[in-house]
Structure 1
């Protein structure tokens, strides 16, 4: 856990103090829209890819079970065929007439009926197992094609992000990592692994506005992990995710946003918080993270970021979190 000041609850009277000095945080609207679309497309494709891989594993297990069942049924039918051959495949009437006594005739008649029933059941089971195995194999092939499709989409989204960043002079960077980041409790997902659509429907505890349930969960998880310094989420006006309740700004300083670059312990706090959200991006539904002239996006990693030169624009005084 990280030591820090008390988690700040920002009301309307404090909104002017809480908000970064530049409402749009210095970034370009068209660039942000491209990056948002690229990140969202990558995350959605990855969820479909993961779900397809899970489905493929289930189908493969089913196929292997069916193959074993086919093998056992084939062996049993082979033994029955060998027994019939050994007996000469006499007709039912002939076998009964050759009975030495009425008792033997009854026993043989019962045996014939049982054998016929077993043969019929096994042959039907064998045909059904063959059909099920064929369906499972076809479904596996479909999942492989689905995975190839989603991998291609992820590659295109990565290229979209890279082109957009390159156009403003951005390049790959080292970013912020931490092997000691706590694991967040995962946010709820749909049964197929995708992220449910959410609106700005819950009260934002940092302002008088609203945020999405997933954003609230991400903020609370960071607080539980020890990141308890000043936070502001909802903001009226402007573009980006703040007005949608899908973004939060985490001050590097405990007392609120200051118009200066974070240094020393404040910068370490920001480094650790940025790393926390990157390490838990898949658990929480993180769209992107901006901190200290760098931006992290899923599938693209860390890249340099130019927000215009101010501490708010370059995000050197706060960590920006955008959510799906």
Structure 2
């Protein structure tokens, strides 16, 4: 190999090295921009956050169960304390009566009575009996005091534990709220990874698209269906294209520009949980209407239009499905 060839090879290697270093470092003085996360990375982050949220919820409800047990224990301790206090009060009254009797009998008449008997043994027996009764009552009183104090400690310990559990639950509730908000932010970031197909006009409306594919819906409707399904699920199915739109004039379904996100089956009213899911889908669609080219939303006998930005009541069409109580209808431009 000639010297010129070797020199050209060395120069090419040097140029390649400099180019690679330049691409890695970027312009002088410029900060390195962090790469945007991919949908896969965000979904993993979302899955991790959902696990964390589920763990927080489980701990929260475990604490609620424990709190109910502690509150029941505290109530039982309060009841026992009340009974023990009653026993103690009765014993104390008996001792006070006995002490008063001893005081009255310790006067001159009592001494005379005891001395007048002339029998020292009988007098000693009477004194011994009185002392025995006093000792028994005193022992009884100490037992009652011990029982009362034990119940008081149990009540106070349960009360303290209850306060600790309430504080812990409040903290868990705050953490759960923060986790749920972060989950919503991650979901929003995933949604934003998908550009809306089509051309947007200057007035904010979109140029209509033609349906395509085996599902016979437009690309814009397909994206909205995908985002709703991956965010809110599709337990009762999603209906989009059909020849008869179900509305005078045909509606958007025959054009492939509408989908019904079902919340129940067989025309039944949805459960409270599913109705809540419908509210969430409608709120999400409103939030993303301008970005995704959503034209209007119908839910629970009301219609929301992008051009007005508000809900309006609709006339009664005579049924659960016809009045959109069992599904959220979304139409795109």
TMscore range, shorter length: 0.3 to 0.5
What is the TM-score with the length of structure 2 in the denominator? Answer: 0.41
**RCO comparison, higher one (Cα < 8 Å, 6+):** 1
Q: Which has the higher helix share?
A: 2
Highest Rg: 1 or 2?
2
The TM-score, its normalising length taken from structure 1, stands at 0.42
